[in-house]
């Protein structure tokens, strides 16, 4: 094929038909029991796809090495799922590239580390990111290696700004992760390195917003990490997390921001001129906003109050088009020649839509972590504003119907050849661990699929319905036998994370419009 963009005709699918590409976020296939919200919810449309045309319905793996993740224990996630769907190929993902760079030591020879290292002599090294072993955005073992490796290479003063998880790992597990990190930092202190945790907060409330849904989230992080200001002050991070978790309804995802202070009540690690900063998440979407606030001179999203002159590097470069950040420790996967680029070169017009919290999934991730259009004359991307400031179990229907209406109108308009959407419900509500709400969420997503397929039927088009990874089909932690695992008090443990389950892929022309197989 060389560098040509020409696409051969599909051997079976007819030309010139509108195609709907529907990604149900977090919709996997698992055994039907009471913790399978997709099974419990009324989902007549998805049921009819499976039962009505079983020969057009397949299960595909959406986790582990099948999608470019380091091991078979790695659950799928939106970044890898949409990267793979959008590019039609599998790339070694950020997690794996960071593992390799750490194992070979190459991470320390690269441009990014060389750049930040210049601050080690007189400044502090700050590490900001998600502290868990979830492996979706970051991994604890990578952070441990980076802290140790940086100290060995001259970092004399290290401050870690942690974000607690509870979304890719069990709620409550934050305490153990903080203890592990504290032990490592104590070992460094014994060797004469001034190393401490400096601030913290829950990932969904502090720093890790995405697609500009709510800049307040990033501001809360800025205030704690850079300015050293937060509503809660503690002298010890383990105590901070334990205490804040005691509040009614508190959970790891939404812990309020806190700073660690010394005996005089002074924050131990604000970021100041001459310091180095690394954001250690490898995954892009929830790091773009903090990267902008740390890197951009012109910035009007919130009042930064004080903008320290720092040397900043991301674990990876998070946005290839914006080249953000400009310094990074590990080169991201080069996801080139994605389907979106092929489509514009072949005169195929695209419409993509989701609500804010997943908008970048069908645009940015789909296009290989690249923001913007390939050709605005051939593409239209529509974002429906998400609710902000609430957890999604409060509004489990989210904007599914609004997304479907936009997709329906785009299909019926005749202006587009490919109409692609992400329906977020099963994932976003699944992450809250609220089973009742997740059932409502799955029903809403199913209704949205129906609206889109009905529109496809009207125009005699083709549909592909699939998912990026599992989530709502299994809401409980299980033992090796697959039974719900009980905690010390004999209670089941709700699973807020994605799963290792396969997802369905279904491609079809609507019945009555001729046959192909």
Ligand X SMILES: O=C(O)[C@@H](CO)OP(=O)(O)O
Q: How far apart are CA 93 and CA 210, in angstroms?
A: 19
Binding flag, residue 286, ligand X (CB under 6 A): yes
Question: Looking at beta carbons only, is 169 or 439 nearer to ligand X?
Answer: 169
Q: Is omega for the bond preceding 325 within 30 degrees of 0, making it cis?
A: yes
Q: Does 25 bind ligand X (CB under 6 A)?
A: yes
Q: Coil, strand, or helix at residue 474? A: coil
Q: Which of 3, 4, 48, 78 is catalytic?
A: 78
3-state secondary structure at position 192: coil
Residue with CB nearest Mn ion? 78
User: Of 25, 99, 379, 383, which lies in the binding site for Mn ion, with binding defined by CB under 5 A?
Assistant: 25
Residue 78 interacts with ligand X (CB under 6 A): yes or no: yes
Residues binding ligand X: what is the number (CB under 6 A)? 10
Token digits of residue 126? 């700050």
- C-alpha–C-alpha distance, residues 150 and 277, integer Å: 12
341 contact, one of ligand X, Mn ion, none, CB 5-8 Å limit per kind? none
Q: Contact between 139 and ligand X (CB under 6 A)?
A: no
Query: Please, what is the minimum distance in Å from the beta carbon of residue 476 to ligand X?
Result: 18
77 makes contact with ligand X (CB under 6 A):
yes
Least Å distance, CB 13 to ligand X, is 29
* 286/408 with CB nearer ligand X: 286
Q: Which residue number is nearest to ligand X in terms of Cβ?
A: 78
Nearer Cβ to ligand X (117/137): 137
Please list the residues that pair with 314 across neighbouring strands: 279, 328
Which of Mn ion, ligand X, none does residue 136 bind to, with CB < 5 to 8 Å depending on kind?
Answer: ligand X
442 is a contact residue toward ligand X (CB under 6 A) = no
User: Considering beta carbons, is residue 214 or 417 the nearer one to Mn ion?
Assistant: 214
User: Does 468 interact with Mn ion (rule: CB under 5 A)?
Assistant: yes
> By C-beta, is 74 or 184 nearer to Mn ion?
74
Mask for 415-434, x = binds ligand X (CB under 6 A) = ------------x-------
Choice between 133 and 229, CB closer to Mn ion = 133
**How many residues of this chain interact with Mn ion, rule: CB under 5 A?**
4
**305 torsion bin: left (phi>0), alpha (psi -120 to 50), beta (else):** left
List helix spans (H) across 123-268: 140-152, 174-190, 215-222, 237-245
17 within 8 A of 509, measured Cβ to Cβ: yes
Phi-psi region of 38 (alpha: psi -120 to 50; beta: other; left: phi over 0): alpha
Q: Which residue lies nearer to Mn ion by CB, 259 or 472?
A: 472
State whether residue 86 is helix, strand or coil. helix
Q: Say which entry of Mn ion, ligand X, none residue 495 contacts (CB below 5 to 8 A, set by partner kind).
A: none
* Phi, psi values for residue 262, rounded to 5°: -85, -175
238: helix, strand or coil:
helix
Q: Residue 168 binds which entry of Mn ion, ligand X, none, with Cβ cut-offs from 5 to 8 Å by kind?
A: ligand X
Q: Which residue has the tokens 């590409």?
A: 21
Residue 79 CB, shortest distance to Mn ion, in Å, is 8
Binder among 30, 136, 195, 276 for ligand X (CB under 6 A): 136
Distance of closest approach, residue 365 Cβ to Mn ion, in angstroms: 9
Residues 6+ apart with CB under 8 A from 116: 125, 276, 277, 278, 311, 312, 313, 327
Task: For the CB of residue 89, give the shortest distance to Mn ion in the complex, in Å.
Answer: 19
One of 168, 295, 473, 474 touching ligand X (CB under 6 A): 168
Contacts 24+ apart (CB under 8 A), 65-68: 66/90, 67/93, 68/92, 68/93, 68/96, 68/333
* Tally: H helices and E strands in the chain: 15, 15
What number of residues does the chain have? Answer: 517
Q: Is 78 in the site for Mn ion (CB under 5 A)?
A: yes
**CB 76 to ligand X: min, Å:** 8
In angstroms, the CA 517 to CA 515 distance is 7
Contact (Cβ atoms closer than 8 angstroms) between residue 260 and residue 237 = yes
Q: CB 426 → Mn ion: shortest distance, Å?
A: 9
Active site residue 132: no
Q: From the list 167, 220, 420, 443, which residue makes contact with ligand X (rule: CB under 6 A)?
A: 167
User: Which pairing describes strands 194-202 and 503-509: parallel, antiparallel, or unpaired?
Assistant: unpaired
Active-site residue list: 78
The binding site for Mn ion (CB under 5 A) comprises 25, 78, 427, 468
The residues that touch ligand X, with contacts defined as CB under 6 A, are 25-26, 77-78, 136-137, 167-168, 286, 427
């Amino acid at each position: 094929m060389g560098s040509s963009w020409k696409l051969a005709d599909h051997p079976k699918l007819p030309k010139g038909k509108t195609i709907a590409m529907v990604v149900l976020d977090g919709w996997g296939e698992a055994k039907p029991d009471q913790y399978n919200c997709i099974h419990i919810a009324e989902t007549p449309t998805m049921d009819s796809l499976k039962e009505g045309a079983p020969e057009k319905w397949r299960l595909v793996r959406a986790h582990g090495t099948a999608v470019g993740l380091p091991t078979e224990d790695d659950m799928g996630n939106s970044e890898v799922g949409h990267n793979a769907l959008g590019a039609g190929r599998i790339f070694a993902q950020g997690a794996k590239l960071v593992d390799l760079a750490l194992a070979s030591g190459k991470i320390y020879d690269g441009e990014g580390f060389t750049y930040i290292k210049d601050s080690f002599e007189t400044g502090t090294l700050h590490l900001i990111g998600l502290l868990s072993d979830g492996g979706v955005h970051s991994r604890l073992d990578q952070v441990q290696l980076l802290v140790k490796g940086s100290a060995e290479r001259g970092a004399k003063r290290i401050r870690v700004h942690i974000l607690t998880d509870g979304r890719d790992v069990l709620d409550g597990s934050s305490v153990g992760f903080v203890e592990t990190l504290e032990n490592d930092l104590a070992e460094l202190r014994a060797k004469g390195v001034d190393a401490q945790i400096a601030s913290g907060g829950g990932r969904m409330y502090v720093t890790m917003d995405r697609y500009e849904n709510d800049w307040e989230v990033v501001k809360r992080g800025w205030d704690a990490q850079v300015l050293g200001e937060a509503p809660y002050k503690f002298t010890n991070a383990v105590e901070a997390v334990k205490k804040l978790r005691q509040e009614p309804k508190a959970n790891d995802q939404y812990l309020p921001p806190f700073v660690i202070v010394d005996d005089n009540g002074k924050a131990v690690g604000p970021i100041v001129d001459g310091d180095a900063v690394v954001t250690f998440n490898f995954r892009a979407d929830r790091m773009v906003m903090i990267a902008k606030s740390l890197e951009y001179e012109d910035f009007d999203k919130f009042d930064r109050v004080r903008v320290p002159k720092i040397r900043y590097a991301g674990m990876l470069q998070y946005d290839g088009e914006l080249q953000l950040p400009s310094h990074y420790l590990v080169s991201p996967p080069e996801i080139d020649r994605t389907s979106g680029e092929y489509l514009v070169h072949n005169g195929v017009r695209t419409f993509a839509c989701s609500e804010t919290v997943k908008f970048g999934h069908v645009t940015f991730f789909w296009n290989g972590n690249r923001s913007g259009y390939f050709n605005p004359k051939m593409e239209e991307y529509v974002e429906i504003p998400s609710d902000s400031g609430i957890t999604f179990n409060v509004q489990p229907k989210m904007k599914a119907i609004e997304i479907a209406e936009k997709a329906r109108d785009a299909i019926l308009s005749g202006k587009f050849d490919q109409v692609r959407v992400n329906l977020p419900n099963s994932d976003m509500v699944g992450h809250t661990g609220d089973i009742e709400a997740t059932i409502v969420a799955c029903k809403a997503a199913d209704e949205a699929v129906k609206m889109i397929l009905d529109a496809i039927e009207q125009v005699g088009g083709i549909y592909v319905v699939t998912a990026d990874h599992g989530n709502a089909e299994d809401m409980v932690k299980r033992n090796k036998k697959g039974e719900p695992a009980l905690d010390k008090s004999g209670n089941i443990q709700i699973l807020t994370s994605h799963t290792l389950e396969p997802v369905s892929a279904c491609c079809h022309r609507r019945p009555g419009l001729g046959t192909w197989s």
